[in-house]
Chains A and B, each alone.
Chain A
C-alpha cells in the first residue's frame, strides 16, 4: 500500500459541477423510470409500440379525418368521426330540454358554484368566512335559479336534462349523502338498540338492492300507494333515492374509518370529560374522516356515474340525450361519436374529484413518517 497524500483541509471551495448526465435531467429521468432494467426497457418499448399503433389511429379518426360541418350525417363524407351534430346539439347535451332563452340561469348557477365551493374545498381563499355563509345559502339560490319562481319563469323539472341534470343530481347526492352517511355510521355503532337497529336496517336494505330497483320503485310502485292527486316531483324522487343509496355506502366507508381509530382515542376523549357529540366532533370524526377520504371520494365518483340511470324514470341525462340523438334519422349510427363526447364530460368531472382527493390527503397528512 502506498501512502496517498492526505489533505487536512482544502483552501477553497471546489466549484459546483453539474450532476452526471445519466442521473439528472431528461436522460436521468428516462434511465431511472423507463430503462432501469432489461425488463423495464422491454416493457417501455412494447408500450411505445402500442401507443404508436393506437394514438395516430385515434387522432386520425377524432381530428384529422373528421367532419365538423353539415346538417346531417350524409354531409360527413370522410372516413373519420362525424362531429357535425355538436354544433346543433351542444345545447341539448348541456341543458337538456331547458328553455333555450333561459339557459343563462343554469350558467349563472354553475358560475356561482365556484365561490360557494371554494371556501369549503381550499385553504387561503380570500373572504372565506363571509363566503361560507354564501355556501350555506347556495342550495336555495341554485334551486331558485333552476326551477324559477318569484320573478323568474318557472321551469318544470322534467325539462331538466343533459349534463346539467347529471350535475344537479350528482351534487345534491354528494352534498346530502356525506352528513347522512356520517349519522348512519355513528348510529350503527350506537349503544342505543333502537337507533342501532334502524340504522343497520336502513343500510342493509338499501345497500342490498340495486339502484335501478330503487329508482324503479320510486317511479312505478310509489304512485300506486299514494293517493291519486298526490304526486312527487320525479327529480326529487331521483335525488332522494340516489342520496339514500349513496348514504348507505357512505355509512359503511365511514364506519371503516371509525373502527380504525384506536380505542385509546375514545378513552382519552372520555377521560377529558367530553360528552359523546363533543368527543365525536372534536376527536374521533376528524381522524376517521381523514383516513376514509379515498373511500368517500370513491363513493362520490360512483354516485356521479350512477346519475346516468335516471333514464329509467324517463329523465334525460347527457347519456339519454345522446341516445335520443342517434335515433334521429339524420344522425343515425353516430353512437361512437356521441359516447366519446359524453365520456369526455364524465372523465373531466371524475378526474377532478380524484385529483382533489389526492390534494386533500396531502394537506391533511399529519402522520409522522420516518
Chain B
C-alpha cells in the first residue's frame, strides 16, 4: 500500500514537472498567436500605463521586441501584471512565457527556483537620498541617522549589512510601501531614504524642491535586473536571450529603429551587422526564427540606447543617466556577446 501510494505520488510529480516544463515554448506561443509577458503592476519608467491605457515602459519595450522577433509584430503581447509575490509562481506554472519585471538576478532564484536568467537589462543598486541641509557628502557619514526603509525586501538586509560593515549606527524607520516611504521622508520622519537608485531618481523628481536633496554616491548593493524564463527549454531561452543581446549590440553597431530597414536591405561593409540583420549567415534559422528576427526586434522600440532614453533617460521626468548601463565602450559595463 505504502509503495503504491509512493509511486503514484512520484508519477504525479513527474507529470507535474513535465507539464510545467513542456519543452516547445516557441511552438506553444506560435500556436496561441500571442506572447504572454509578465510585467510589473506599476513601476515608474519600467512599466506604467499611458493616457490611452496602453502598457509602456522599459520592461514593456523588451516584451515588444521579443514579440517582434517571434511574430514580426510587436503588438502580439498579452501583458500579465504581477506583484513581487506572484511573479515566480506565474512563471513556473506557465501563466507567462517570459518575466520582464525588474527582477534581480540572484543565485538562489537562478539555481534553486529553476529559472534561467537571460542577461542584465538594467544594472541597478541600492542608494540613499538625503537633504542637502544635513551637510554630509557620503553615506558613510550617516552615523546615528534615521533611515526610511521598506520592510521585507532585500534593501532592508543590504542596509543592515552596509551599516555593520562600516561600523556605524542607524535608526530604521520601517515602512510598508515605496509611496509611504516617500511620504515619510518628505514629512521629515527620517533623515535619509534608501531604495534602488533608479527609484530614488524617480522619487527625487516628485519633491517640491528637488535641488534641496542629494543622492549619495555610494551604491551599497548589486541589483542586476533582467528578464528570465523557465528552466528546461533552451531554445526558448536562447531566443529571449539573443533578442536582448541584439538590442544591446544594435546600439554598439549604431543600428537604430530609423536606419535598420536601410541596413537590412542589402549586405553592408560590417559583417557583424550583416549577420545580425540576416543579410549574411543564418542566425535566424539557428534560433528557429525568420531571417529578419533582429530587424523586427530593433524596429519595435529601437536599440537599447533608444529604449533607455525614451523611458528612463535624462530627457524623461526620471532623468536617469546611463552610468553602469552605458556600453563598455562608453565607460559602462553593458557588454553583449558577439553575433557570430
When C-beta atoms are compared, the residue in chain B nearest to A87 turns out to be B51
Chain A residues within an 8 Å CB radius of B259: none
Contact B93 A224 (CB under 8 A): yes
Contact B19 A228 (CB under 8 A): yes
Q: Give A220 to B95 CA distance when docked, in angstroms.
A: 7
B143 on the interface (CB 8 Å rule)?
no
Contact B80 A314 (CB under 8 A): yes
Contact A72 B49 (CB under 8 A): no
Q: Give A100 to B51 CA distance when docked, in angstroms.
A: 12
Contact A329 B41 (CB under 8 A): no
Taking the nearest CB of chain A, how far is it from the CB of B45, in angstroms?
6
Q: Which residues of A contact B (CB under 8 A)?
A: 72-74, 88-89, 91-92, 96-97, 100, 158, 216, 219-221, 223-224, 228, 311-314, 316, 320-321, 323-330, 332-333, 335
Taking the nearest CB of chain A, how far is it from the CB of B31, in angstroms?
9
Contact A328 B44 (CB under 8 A): yes
Contact B317 A329 (CB under 8 A): yes
Given A220-B95, A328-B48, A72:B206 Cβ within 8 A? no
Contact B47 A327 (CB under 8 A): yes
Q: Give A329 to B56 CA distance when docked, in angstroms.
A: 11
Chain A residues within an 8 Å CB radius of B263: none
Stretch of B82-90, B272-280, B282-290 at the chain-chain interface: B82-90
Taking the nearest CB of chain A, how far is it from the CB of B140, in angstroms?
29
Q: Which of A88, A216, A228, A327 has a CB less than 8 Å from the CB of B94?
A: A228
Q: Give A216 to B20 CA distance when docked, in angstroms.
A: 17
Chain A residues within an 8 Å CB radius of B50: 328
B205 on the interface (CB 8 Å rule)?
yes
Chain A residues within an 8 Å CB radius of B203: 332-333
Interface flags for B21-51 (1: CB within 8 Å of A; 0: not) read 0100000000000000000111111011111
Taking the nearest CB of chain A, how far is it from the CB of B44, in angstroms?
5
Q: Please tell me the size bucket of the interface on B.
A: 35 or more
Taking the nearest CB of chain B, how far is it from the CB of A364, in angstroms?
43
B68 on the interface (CB 8 Å rule)?
no
Can you list 7 A-B contacts with CB-CB less than 8 angstroms, sorted by A residue number? Answer: A96-B53, A216-B89, A220-B86, A220-B90, A313-B86, A316-B41, A323-B41
Contact A329 B202 (CB under 8 A): yes
Given A219-B95, A323-B41, A327-B47, A312:B86 Cβ within 8 A? yes
B231 on the interface (CB 8 Å rule)?
no
When C-beta atoms are compared, the residue in chain B nearest to A89 turns out to be B51
Chain B residues within an 8 Å CB radius of A321: 49
Given A219-B95, A223-B93, A329-B317, A314:B81 Cβ within 8 A? yes
Taking the nearest CB of chain B, how far is it from the CB of A316, in angstroms?
7
Interface flags for B297-339 (1: CB within 8 Å of A; 0: not) read 0000000000000000000111000000000000000000000
Contact A332 B86 (CB under 8 A): no
B64 on the interface (CB 8 Å rule)?
no
B230 on the interface (CB 8 Å rule)?
no
Contact A72 B317 (CB under 8 A): yes
Q: Nearest 4 A-B pairs (CB), nearest first?
A: A333-B206, A327-B42, A329-B317, A327-B48
Contact B16 A329 (CB under 8 A): no
Q: Which of B22, B48, B82, B202 has a CB less than 8 Å from the CB of A314?
A: B82
When C-beta atoms are compared, the residue in chain B nearest to A162 turns out to be B53
Taking the nearest CB of chain B, how far is it from the CB of A13, in angstroms?
69
Q: What secondary structure prevails in chain A residues at the interface with B?
A: helix
Chain A residues within an 8 Å CB radius of B20: 224
Chain B residues within an 8 Å CB radius of A91: 53
Contact A329 B49 (CB under 8 A): no
Q: Which of A73, A100, A223, A332 has the most CB of B within 10 A?
A: A332
Chain B residues within an 8 Å CB radius of A332: 44, 202-203, 205-206, 317
Chain A residues within an 8 Å CB radius of B93: 220-221, 223-224
B78 on the interface (CB 8 Å rule)?
yes
Chain A residues within an 8 Å CB radius of B78: 158
Q: Give A219 to B89 CA distance when docked, in angstroms.
A: 10
Taking the nearest CB of chain B, how far is it from the CB of A144, in angstroms?
23
Chain A residues within an 8 Å CB radius of B141: none
Q: Give A123 to B203 CA distance when docked, in angstroms.
A: 55
Q: Give A326 to B183 CA distance when docked, in angstroms.
A: 14
Q: Give A325 to B41 CA distance when docked, in angstroms.
A: 10
Taking the nearest CB of chain A, how far is it from the CB of B12, in angstroms?
10
When C-beta atoms are compared, the residue in chain A nearest to B39 turns out to be A314
B179 on the interface (CB 8 Å rule)?
yes
B182 on the interface (CB 8 Å rule)?
yes
Chain B residues within an 8 Å CB radius of A220: 86, 89-90, 93, 95
Contact A320 B48 (CB under 8 A): no
Q: Which of B19, B42, B316, B317 has the most CB of A within 10 A?
A: B42
Given A224-B19, A228-B22, A332-B202, A326:B53 Cβ within 8 A? no
Q: Give A223 to B94 CA distance when docked, in angstroms.
A: 8
Contact A324 B179 (CB under 8 A): no
When C-beta atoms are compared, the residue in chain B nearest to A74 turns out to be B317
Q: Which of A88, A327, A330 has a CB less than 8 Å from the CB of B43?
A: A327
Chain A residues within an 8 Å CB radius of B47: 327
Contact A326 B42 (CB under 8 A): yes
Chain A residues within an 8 Å CB radius of B44: 327-329, 332
Taking the nearest CB of chain A, how far is it from the CB of B98, in angstroms?
15
Given A88-B51, A97-B53, A320-B41, A333:B89 Cβ within 8 A? no
| Extra 20 A-B pairs, beta carbons < 8 Å, given A316-B81, A324-B42, A327-B43 | A73-B206, A220-B90, A224-B20, A228-B94, A311-B81, A311-B83, A312-B86, A320-B41, A323-B41, A323-B42, A324-B49, A324-B81, A326-B179, A327-B42, A327-B44, A329-B205, A329-B317, A332-B44, A332-B205, A333-B205
